[in-house]
């Protein structure tokens, strides 16, 4: 069971216990402190800030990190899916998730990342990367072209096989290197990277961040607006996406 499924089950349990919510007027979208507190107390991992009104009267958004769902004011119904505004053709759920990704990434300092930056930055992407992933290597082979096109690439660690694996150990070696950029390049070229034990590295915390954000494969590219691009795009097409906001066909 995934994290948000647990949240939805907890929401459904409210209908049996939350008589205060049952008294709420379905047509009203006023999120009172009492209703917020009641919901927050029943949803694992949620905080009062993760519950808010939606444009639909009587329907509330519940968010934990980048997981977003909806619950009715009386606690009887939960919805797992995207909410669209027809007039503007806006996916409100995607917008909420993008905002959550930006906020999560804002807590990571660049000195904890491996950054390849051009002299003049036009766009910034944050990439959850793995040493052994084929498409991570392909993306990295175009790092020079991306920089020439004005794209700043900020790498964070996401060894897909998890802790106590060879890929994880390689990533630790990279982050313990004096020249992390060169070490990452060497590792992605299957060159052995030997570094002294440097104690704690950001690998574990960055992997945990990827789990929070919902990374389900690598490379996972997060744009400066918080949009998630799952997988590799050639440099030119990636820049086209960043400038237009529309994913080009491959």
Each residue's pLDDT tens digit, 163-199: 999 999 999 999 999 999 999 999 999 999 998 888 8
Residue 93 phi/psi, 5-degree rounding, is -70, -45
Reported pTM:
0.78
Q: Where are the beta strands (DSSP E) in the chain?
A: 51-53, 59-64, 67-72, 78-79, 84-85, 90-91, 114-116, 123-129, 151-157, 220-223, 228-230
Q: What is the pLDDT of residues 101-136, one digit of tens each?
A: 999 999 999 999 999 999 999 999 999 999 999 999
pLDDT in tens, 62-82: 887 788 888 877 767 778 888
Residue by residue, DSSP assigns 40-55 as: HHHSTT--GGGEEE-S
Residue 58's region, left for phi above 0, alpha for psi from -120 to 50, else beta, is: left
Share of the chain above pLDDT 70, in %: 80
What's the fold here for domain 109-244? Glutaredoxin (3.40.30)
Domain positions in the chain are: 3-91, 109-244
Contact (Cβ atoms closer than 8 angstroms) between residue 11 and residue 69 = yes
Retrieve residue 26's tokens.
């379905």
- Pairwise CA distance, residues 45 & 42, whole Å: 9
Q: What mean pLDDT do residues 17-39 have?
A: 53
Q: Is the pLDDT of residue 149 over 80?
A: yes
* Least confident among 10-24, 97-111, 173-187, 211-225: 10-24
Tokens of 140: 């990295």
Mean pLDDT, rounded, of the chain? 83
């Amino acid at each position: 069971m995934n994290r948000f499924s647990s949240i939805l089950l907890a929401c459904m349990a409210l209908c049996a216990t939350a008589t205060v919510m049952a008294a709420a007027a379905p047509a009203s979208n006023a999120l009172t402190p009492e209703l917020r507190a009641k919901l927050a107390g029943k949803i694992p991992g949620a905080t009062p800030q993760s519950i808010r009104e939606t444009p639909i009267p009587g329907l509330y958004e519940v968010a934990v990190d980048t997981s977003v769902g909806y619950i009715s004011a009386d606690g009887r119904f939960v919805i797992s899916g995207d909410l669209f505004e027809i007039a503007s053709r806006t996916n409100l759920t995607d917008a909420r998730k993008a905002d959550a990704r930006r906020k999560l990434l804002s807590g990571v300092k660049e000195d904890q990342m491996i950054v390849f930056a051009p002299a003049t930055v036009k766009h910034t992407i944050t990439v959850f990367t793995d040493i052994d992933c084929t498409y991570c290597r392909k993306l990295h082979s175009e790092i020079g072209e991306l920089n020439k096109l004005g794209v700043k690439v900020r790498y964070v660690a996401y060894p897909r096989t998890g802790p106590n694996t060879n890929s994880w150990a390689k990533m630790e070696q990279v982050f313990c290197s004096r020249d992390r950029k060169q070490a990452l390049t060497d590792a992605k070229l299957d060159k052995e990277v030997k570094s002294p034990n440097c104690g704690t590295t950001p690998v574990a915390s960055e992997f945990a961040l990827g789990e929070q954000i919902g990374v389900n494969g690598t490379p996972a590219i997060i744009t400066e607006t918080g949009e998630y691009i799952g997988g590799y795009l050639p440099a030119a097409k990636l820049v086209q996406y960043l400038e237009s906001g529309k994913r080009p066909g491959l």
